[in-house]
Structure 1
Amino acid sequence: MSSVPVFAEPEELRDLVLDTEKEPERDYAIIDVRDSDFKGGHIPGAKNVPANQMYDKVGDLVREYADVPIVYFHCALSQVRGPKSARIYCETRNNPETRSNLNIKTDQKVKIIRNGFEGWHAKYRKEEGLIKDYEKKIWEWAIEEQ
């Protein structure tokens, strides 16, 4: 049975992203539930599923990531959208009917990246390979605050 979502420190995911032997969507998955705030940068390998579409797409996500050992969720700060989306995902995956229909047998960890993408950006914006499609201009406000 899937666990309930728990928080993970960004360093845990950073190590996976930088590990050349690990492959997104096989060894781990990242679901970025930001809406328009996805534009301007994201964690490499992240799939954007806006939180307001989670109920419509959760079945597809559970199916797509059925055999992935760990799934990370985040939004901008991982205070509302990320945790709520992770909960919806877990409830759907843990549903006995879903498990039976998809023949889910493996356990899966579901985690929420602490401090979301804003925390990730603050920590890793200067590190090579940790932010994809980065548009510095969009993040100038955040850089000025730090």
Structure 2
Amino acid sequence: MPISTSRKLVEAVIGDVLEVLATDLPQDPASELMVWAAAAGCRRISFQKKRSNPDFWRNDSVFVVMHDVIVVSPITATNLSLSKGLAADRARTVLAPEPSVGSTTAAAIQALFEKYDGPFTHKHIYSKLSPLGHPRLELEV
């Protein structure tokens, strides 16, 4: 059967379903974080694996590192995929600007990237809790 005939047959059979399906499904949290960071100009963000218990051989935790600074401490879950997604989601919460807080913005983070050329250290960045209890990265004052 030619391809055009097959396509017409498939469209006739599942045409109603094709109208409802959307292609704008959200990406996974790790991809969203990487795209968001790249759009802000950051190319040095990574996910690293760790063992929560050194007696076991299996890595079961994931943490997020940006410019040699741990943005999210190790998150342990039932599997590494879930740990990575949770770590990415928390990293986005830490780094993303919140209009209600106002103290940390994408511009401040980008200014920090531009000010310090090279690996960041803990003296350049510190963690602070927002009014909602989320850790936030702040410029050192």
Q: TM-score range by the shorter chain?
A: under 0.3
Q: Which has the higher helix share?
A: 1
> Could you say which structure has the greater relative contact order, defined with CA pairs below 8 angstroms and 6 or more residues apart?
1
Q: Kindly indicate which of the two structures has a greater share of residues assigned to strand.
A: 2
Give the TM-score taking structure 2 as reference length. Answer: 0.27
